[in-house]
Amino acid sequence: MSRSPHPLAGPIVAPSILSADFARLGGALALVDPARDWVHCDIMDNHFVPNLTFGPLIVAAARRLSAAFLDVHLMIERPETLIAGFREAGADLVTVHLEACADPAAVLAAVRSSGARVGLTLRPGTPFAQAEPWLKDLDLFLVMTVEPGFGGQAFMPGMLEKVRAAREWRERHGARYLIEVDGGISSVTAPQCRAAGADVFVAGNAVYAQGDPAQALAALRAAIR
Ligand code: DX5
Ligand code: ZN
């Protein structure tokens, strides 16, 4: 499908297909409304994180199944080796982990020159200040609210302080990045993140592990409004 010209403005829910049934990816993506939601794709390499998911082949399948904005979260070492591949597969935005970049400036420039929007993230234990040199040029700053690697973990309330720091930095410096939160996001934690400044809310289990995923997604949209 052709890409959605999604406005880069929150609040946005980004269902994470990590928690979906991959035998029914079409059904999982059919819930997502391209006019207001994104699709979050979690890429894990069993090196940067102790889990292994999928690569550009599945992102390309998602691209064929949905017109929604594809938000690709790379939890991989040497991300520079796969940026072009994910962009060609249909990624609209590529987020890299600062800890995985030997040369962050070069990696972020490679994402930009691929044509994708540019995102940066930190593990929960990495201080916000380490991202400051790169924030000015980002489209998205992702605050991990769990340790990356698995869906279904408990939200870390201490990360709300990082969300507030990202919002304050954005205001002080006139930056334009969206603030995304990822991990343990639910109808309870999403409003807390919204109050702290988050614009984009990744949700895996809170959508796809529910009895009625469409209703769960609707509840999340309502919770952040
Ligand atoms: C975790 C991933 C998340 C994951 C979130 O490493 O980055 O995107 O899918 O899953 P939930 O919403 O279940 O915590
Ligand atoms: Zn993610």
Q: Quick: pLDDT tens for 118-141.
A: 999 999 999 999 999 999 999 999
The per-residue pLDDT for 9 is: 80
The per-residue pLDDT for 132 is: 98
Asked whether the bond before 11 is cis by omega within 30 degrees of 0, the reply is yes
Q: Is 73 in the pocket of ligand 1 (CB under 6 A)?
A: yes
Q: Is 10 in the pocket of ligand 1 (CB under 6 A)?
A: no
Q: Is 50 in the pocket of ligand 1 (CB under 6 A)?
A: no
Ligand 1 binding pocket mutation candidate from 13, 17, 19, 45 (most atoms within 8 A of CB): 19
> Contact, 6 vs 42, CB < 8 A?
no
Residue ranges in the chain modelled with pLDDT below 70: 1-8
Distance CA 122, CA 143 (A): 7
The per-residue pLDDT for 90 is: 98
Q: Closest residue (by CA) to atom 6 of ligand 1? A: 148
The per-residue pLDDT for 210 is: 98
Which atom of ligand 1 lies at the shortest distance from residue 49's CA? 6
The per-residue pLDDT for 1 is: 52
Ligand 1 binding pocket mutation candidate from 13, 17, 18 (most atoms within 8 A of CB): 18
The per-residue pLDDT for 2 is: 47
| Tens digits of residue pLDDT in 148-177 | 999 999 999 999 999 999 999 999 999 999
Domain boundaries, the chain: 12-223
Structure pTM? 0.97
Closest to 60 in 3D by CA, of 70, 51, 50: 70
The per-residue pLDDT for 10 is: 79
Taking the centre of ligand 2 as the mean of its atom positions, its distance from the CA of residue 18, in whole angstroms, is 8
> Contact, 119 vs 180, CB < 8 A?
yes
| Superfamily grouping for domain 12-223 | Aldolase class I (3.20.20.70)
Could you give the percent of the chain with pLDDT greater than 70? 96
Active site residues: 42, 182
